[in-house]
Amino acid sequence: MNIVDLSLPIDDKAFEIHRVHIERVSHRDGVDRFNKVIMGRTILGKIKYLLGRRIVKKYDLPDGEFLSLEIVKACVHIGTHLDYTYHYGSTSQGRASKTAEEIPLEWCYQDGVKLDFTHKKKEDLIKDKDIKEALEKINYKIKPLDIVLLWTGRDKLYGKKDYFSDYPGVDVSCIDYLLDRGVKIFGIDTMGIDLPYSKMLKDFSNSKDTKKLYPAHFYGRKREFIHIERLANLDELPDYGFKVICFPVKIRGTGASWARVVAVF
């Protein structure tokens, strides 16, 4: 059995639009953090802590080390993640939108198919005709619940500013084509399914056409779908013949959730 990691990390060292902060409490400093948290639960405890009292001291611990602790402060759209209908709007298909912890898990463990769009240029759109051509090239017919992965190769730009500006978008016709064939989840190895921010805002400013703003995302208000953003390593996959596992982290009341997406074949 081969397992391919299709996920990007939550990385506080990489260039991001949204701020990522990871507070790292070392083994040496962990005991003081522990005392501060435990003693800080009461006013008397806080006073004792400020006066230098400690419940647990370093010499009480093996090697003088406590447990490490990392506190992650990041948007749920950082790293590889699944977007669900609540992200797109308050309603979807005339019903209240669903949050990420409501994603049906049976949708998240299905056969996968990879479609090659590495030829697509910056600010191009992936349309229904492109999906048809890509499927014909690999002689594959999409079946219900397949997880379709759109391979652009832009994951190689991760960590650079170009990652947020050099990639193709997904056209609504592409989404319709997939949903009409029973697809519930599709993914892409770019930072989003719509065109880059700079392109969308420029087109909107020039035309004042509101349809230029996030058309793929907003389409989720009309038809329910889940998409995965920020995939990686799709180049390591065959065209099909593998399973995709993309279970979301169970965070209550969010429109998206981080996921460790993998392929098994």
The identity of residue 66, as a single letter, is F
Same domain, 131 and 257: yes
Per-residue pLDDT of the chain (265 residues; tens, 9 = 90+): 899 999 999 999 999 999 999 999 999 999 999 999 999 999 999 999 999 999 999 889 999 999 999 999 999 999 999 999 999 999 999 999 999 999 999 999 999 999 999 999 999 999 999 999 999 999 999 999 999 999 999 999 999 999 999 999 999 999 999 999 999 999 999 999 999 999 999 999 999 989 999 999 999 999 999 999 999 999 999 999 999 999 999 999 999 999 999 999 9
Which are the contacts of 158, defined by CB distance < 8 A and separation ≥ 6? 8, 14, 230, 232
Per-residue model confidence (pLDDT) at position 149:
98
Helices 43-50 and 27-39, axial angle in degrees (round to 10)? 140
Instruction: Supply the CATH number for residue 103's domain.
Output: 3.50.30.50
Please give, one letter per residue, the 3-state secondary structure of 167-223: CCEECHHHHHHHHCCCCCEEEECCCCCCCCHHHHHHHHHHHCCHHHCCHHHHHHHCC
Same domain, 41 and 97: no
14-34 per-position pLDDT tens digit: 999 999 999 999 999 999 999
CA distance 252 to 254: 6
Same domain, 168 and 237: yes
Are 234 and 155 within 8 A, CB to CB?
A: yes
Q: Could you tell me if residue 171 is inside a domain?
A: yes
Q: Could you tell me if residue 15 is inside a domain?
A: no
Q: Output the CA torsion sign for 21, 14, 225, 124.
A: positive
Per-residue model confidence (pLDDT) at position 145:
98
Same domain, 42 and 96: no
Q: Could you tell me if residue 16 is inside a domain?
A: no
CA distance 133 to 142: 13
CB atoms within 10 A of CB 123: 17
Domains contained in the chain, number: 2
Per-residue model confidence (pLDDT) at position 178:
98
Give the three-class secondary structure for 108: helix
Cα 209 from chain centroid (whole Å): 28
Same domain, 42 and 168: no
Per-residue model confidence (pLDDT) at position 98:
97
- End-to-end Cα separation, the chain, in angstroms: 6
103-140 per-position pLDDT tens digit: 999 999 999 999 999 999 999 999 999 999 999 999 99
Same domain, 102 and 63: no
Same domain, 86 and 193: yes
Same domain, 176 and 81: yes
Q: Quote the domain boundaries for residue 98.
A: 3-10+76-264
Same domain, 53 and 174: no
Same domain, 223 and 101: yes
Q: Could you tell me if residue 213 is inside a domain?
A: yes
Same domain, 137 and 106: yes
Domain boundary among 73, 91, 107: 73
Are 86 and 98 within 8 A, CB to CB?
A: yes
